[in-house]
């Protein structure tokens, strides 16, 4: 190794005409001794023996307590160099899209000579799968809705098969990952909202599908129900009895809905608007 004894220095620029004399003195100084080292190497895909070199991988050096210290990117030949590392103990690892972070390798910088450390990426097959994500909001306030049940169904031979489910967090976000290629649908469900669906979602080639949606708020707009049991005076249930729902407005009764009791003598009216009502029942016999 050939090191400079005195550092290179440079003079001021000057102009010469014919037959000029210029006196230009230089003062050389002792170079600062470099006490830092460096690490260099190559990043491979899968294995050191048969793996291909990986350009564009991020290589990072951590201090011994795990604090990030320095990083760089591999060139087209998969090689990297990180310089100006103070003497000490480190770890080093590499990553690139589609791979897990490689195993951290111990690294000791004990002198100014470069340390060679080759790294192997760990393939992550899940990174090649599809992702569905989005934000769920309220149709009235346009604010995020949390705790929405989000269900992902795969269409198999025309039937919907549940493959995954999750729920939205406080900012309305959700994510479903590791989804195989195929045709899917989504269902969004929460008490106080109408169930929403997104159908005909086709996923392939590591798709990242934004399935944000708006839920229709039904709180305060859910109408009432009226139900009961029709019995005889002896307490026997009456099946197939006529039951009429009459709304009372200004002391006038208007028949607004009709139903019949089931085999257990029970009936129910759904979606009944606010107001005053009376129920009337009877059993007629066909002669």
Q: What is the CATH number of the domain that holds 231?
A: 2.60.40.1120
Tell me the whole-structure pTM to 2 decimals: 0.49
Specify the 3-state DSSP secondary structure of 142. Answer: coil
Q: Has residue 255 been placed in a domain?
A: yes
Q: Is residue 26 exposed (0-12), middle (13-18) or buried (19+ Cβ within 10 Å)?
A: exposed
Of the residues 89, 124, 159, the one at which a domain ends: 124
Structure tokens at 168: 């939205």
Q: Which residue has the higher pLDDT, 2 or 278?
A: 278
Q: Has residue 6 been placed in a domain?
A: no
Of the residues 61, 92, 124, the one at which a domain ends: 124
Interval 171-225: pLDDT, tens:
999 999 889 999 999 999 998 899 999 999 999 988 999 999 999 988 655 678 9
Q: Has residue 10 been placed in a domain?
A: no
Q: Which residue has the higher pLDDT, 46 or 162?
A: 162
Closest CA to 100 of 128, 72, 141: 128
Residues 151 and 195 occupy one common structural domain = yes
Closest CA to 207 of 223, 183, 234: 183
Q: Has residue 8 been placed in a domain?
A: no
End-to-end CA distance of the chain: 120
Closest CA to 99 of 125, 60, 61: 125
Residues 171 and 239 occupy one common structural domain = no
Alpha helices by DSSP H, 177-277:
none
Residues 78 and 49 occupy one common structural domain = yes
| DSSP letter, residue 126 | G
Number of domains in the chain: 3
Q: Has residue 29 been placed in a domain?
A: no
Rg (CA), the chain: 39
pLDDT at 197: 94
Residues 108 and 150 occupy one common structural domain = no
Q: Has residue 153 been placed in a domain?
A: yes
Q: Check which CATH number belongs to the domain holding 200 and give it.
A: 2.60.40.10
Q: With a cut of 90, say whether residue 243 has pLDDT above it.
A: yes
Residue 165's domain comprises: 129-215
Residues 148 and 92 occupy one common structural domain = no
Q: Which of 25-29, 68-72, 233-237 has the lowest mean pLDDT?
A: 25-29
Of the residues 196, 215, 234, the one at which a domain ends: 215
pLDDT at 6: 60
Closest CA to 189 of 139, 160, 148: 148
């Amino acid at each position: 190794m050939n090191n400079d004894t005195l550092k290179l220095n440079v003079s001021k620029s000057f102009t010469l005409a014919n037959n000029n004399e210029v006196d230009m003195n230089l003062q050389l100084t002792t170079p600062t001794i470099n006490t830092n080292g460096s690490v260099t190497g190559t990043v491979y895909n899968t294995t050191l023996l048969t793996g291909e070199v990986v350009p564009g991988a991020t290589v990072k050096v951590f201090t011994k307590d795990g604090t990030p210290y320095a990083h760089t990117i591999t060139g087209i030949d998969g090689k990297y160099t990180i310089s100006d590392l103070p003497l000490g103990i480190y770890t080093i690892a590499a990553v690139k899209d589609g791979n897990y972070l490689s195993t951290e390798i111990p690294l000791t910088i004990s002198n100014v000579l470069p340390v060679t450390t080759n790294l192997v990426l760990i393939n992550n097959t899940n990174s090649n799968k599809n992702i569905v994500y989005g934000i769920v909001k309220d149709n009235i306030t346009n604010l995020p809705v949390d705790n929405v049940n989000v269900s992902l169904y795969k269409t198999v031979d025309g039937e919907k098969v549940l493959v995954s489910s999750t729920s939205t967090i406080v900012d309305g976000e959700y994510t479903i990952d590791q989804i195989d290629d195929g045709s899917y649908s989504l269902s969004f469900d929460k008490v106080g909202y109408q169930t929403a669906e997104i159908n005909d979602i086709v996923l392939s080639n590591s798709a990242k599908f934004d399935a944000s949606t708006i839920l229709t708020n039904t709180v305060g707009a859910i109408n009432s129900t009226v139900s009961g049991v029709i019995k005889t005076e002896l307490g026997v249930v009456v099946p197939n009895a006529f039951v009429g729902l009459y709304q009372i407005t200004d002391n006038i009764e208007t028949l607004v809905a009709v139903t019949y009791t089931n085999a257990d003598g029970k009936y129910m009216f759904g979606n009944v608007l606010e107001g005053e009502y009376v129920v009337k029942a009877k059993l007629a016999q066909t002669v």
